[in-house]
Amino acid sequence: MVTSDFEAILKAYERSGGDPNFLRSPKVASLVISGNRVLGTNQVPGVQIVPEEIEHGVRVRVIVEPEARLDVPAHLCFGVIPAEGVQEILPEFEIGEGARAEFIAHCTFPNAVKVKHLMEARIHVGKNATMKYSETHYHGETGGVEVIPKAEVTVDEGGRYTSEFALTTGRVGKLAFDYVVDVAARGTAELVVKAYGYGDDAITVKETIRLNEEYARGLAKSRIAVRDEATSEVMGSTEGNAPFARGHVDCIEIVRDQAVASAIPVVRVRDDRAHVTHEAAIGTVNKKELETLMARGLDEETAVDVIIRGMLAA
Amino acid sequence: MCVENLHLRREDRPILQGVNLKVASGQIHGLLGRNGSGKSSLAYALMGCGAYAPQEGRILFDGHDITALSITERGQLGLTLAWQEPARFEGLKVQDYLALGMQEPSRERMEEALKAVALLPSAYLSRPVDETLSGGERKRVELAAVYAMWAKLAILDEPDSGIDVLSLDDIARLIRRMAEEGTTVLLITHRDEMVPVADVAALMCEGEIVRVGDPAEVRRHYARRCRPCPVAEPVEEVGGGYERF
């Protein structure tokens, strides 16, 4: 039973763009969760992954020891194989002082008709530590998935935190992304969200970066495309709360058909030596780009897709 | 390609005023003219770009009346255009851009195309076709993409602009190579140094083709009569006026 579940989730993982060999390798830190069951965990020196099954999901503590270096990124897989279900993931990441760790997560719901996936993460990036977290989702083609990823992140002095969330293949369903990052002196935070919605998909993205101490840096970036009757709303907020803090909000949204997109960039500065900027652009596909591709013989729909996927890949 | 009495007005201004032009299969046809004479507008109208649909006249290509066809349909018939200022594409690699127009994309052909525009394949195939390319590099990639397609007819709009003078020979070599491989070329330029590469040349002025003939003769005429331009910068009348053309 567990073996067949494991194989099913590996197949789904592969479909969402992951390489299952990483989840089988004893040299790679990994965690495989299906519904509320932990199907596999692999520990490597310097990293502890401690999962605990709860009623509708899994609570997990991930501890990277101070000064530890992960030679290979840790691979995480969260999935729901049945058509219906609720999955709640409650991770706590503790990245020790001076450590460097990269995590590649895939969340896959290939058969979803009515699936709800909630994640509430607490992340602490220690002094001079670096954490990179890349999360790719695949929600199937029905649009029946509701995903609510939330994170509270603190980055200590000199720490670096990078998060990239991508949902660009298959339907989105409903996405309510909400990350808040507090950055200490000389720390850096970069949040990137990429999503491609169609049908009646609904995308909401809230990215908040608070640059609380001097020389903190932050970038809140989003690349969203919506078509058909999909909607997107992006609220990128960066606060410059200390001397010499530097922040930027960068939002680009492409709209086609009857889709609706909005952007609300918020820039707040509490110290006159801080500098925070924003740019937001919403529009349809650039006509010249479109006509250039059509002059190569591509039909309009294919040309639009090439342009959007390029934007999302950049 | 045969263009018959093509008229185009934009924002109530006449842009093309009865263009007649024949581009014979397999030829390099030079179209020379000053800036603002309507050359690029003609290129966009021939390609079927949305804002350049002619109000009158017709365009025949390979035996078909393509006047009402979309850009895609024209592209699928083997007509293509290298833009004067090519668009940039965020996140699209040169190799993917080259492959888009190719019937059967092959790495060999892509490398051949990049070498034909004096770009090193190993340095460029994986680069994005975005703002990180210089104007000259982007232009060369555009020409490589058109070359790689084996198009029936390639309209090259000012292929020499934005590329340093030393590269004009590269461009001329590429155009000859395209013709040798069976692509008919309509070469649009305002620089008469490019004209010798053509088999036939036409001169465009104020939205009309005013002269067609031997490239050397058209070039001489352009040098003598169009610089300075008597239309844009009228010359003083001497002894009963000047001859425009």
Determine the pLDDT at residue A5: 78
pLDDT tens column, A182-232? 999 999 999 999 999 999 999 999 999 999 999 999 999 999 999 999 999
Q: What percent of chain A lies above the pLDDT cut of 90? A: 86
Determine the pLDDT at residue A263: 94
Orientation of helix B135-148 relative to helix B107-116, angle to 10°: 130
Tally C-beta pairs within 8 A across A and B: 62
The answer to whether A137 and A12 are in contact (CB under 8 A) is no
For residue B167, name the pLDDT band (cuts at 50, 70, 90).
confident
Among candidates B80, B128, B130 on the partner chain, residue whose Cβ is nearest the Cβ of A295? B80
pLDDT tens column, A53-89? 999 999 999 999 999 999 899 999 999 989 999 999 9
Reported in sequence order, the residue ranges of A55-144 that DSSP labels E, i.e. its strands, are: 57-64, 74-79, 84-95, 100-108, 114-125, 130-138
Instruction: Between B241 and A34, name the one with better pLDDT.
Output: A34
One-character DSSP codes across A155-219: E-TT-EEEEEEEEEES---EEEEEEEEEE-TT-EEEEEEEEEE-TT-EEEEEEEEEE-STT-EEE
Q: Is B89 on the interface with A (CB under 8 A)?
A: yes
pTM (predicted TM-score): 0.83
Token pair belonging to B111? 């490398």
Orientation of helix B168-180 relative to helix B107-116, angle to 10°: 140
Would you give the DSSP letter of residue B87? P
Would you give the DSSP letter of residue B129? S
Determine the pLDDT at residue B244: 37
The Cα of A224 is separated from the nearest Cα of chain B by a number of Å equal to 14
Q: Is B150 on the interface with A (CB under 8 A)?
A: no
Determine the pLDDT at residue B237: 37
Mean pLDDT over B147-172 rounds to: 86
Round the average pLDDT of chain B to a whole number and report it: 90
Instruction: Between A147 and A14, name the one with better pLDDT.
Output: A147
Check B86 against A292: CB less than 8 A apart.
yes
Among candidates A288, A291, A314 on the partner chain, residue whose Cβ is nearest the Cβ of B91? A314
For residue A13, name the pLDDT band (cuts at 50, 70, 90).
confident
pLDDT tens column, B67-100? 999 999 999 999 999 999 999 999 999 999 999 9
Determine the pLDDT at residue A4: 76
Does residue B7 sit in helix, strand or coil? strand
Q: Which of B80, B97, B100 to mutate to test the interface with A (most CBs of A within 10 A)?
A: B100
Among candidates B74, B80, B89 on the partner chain, residue whose Cβ is nearest the Cβ of A310? B89
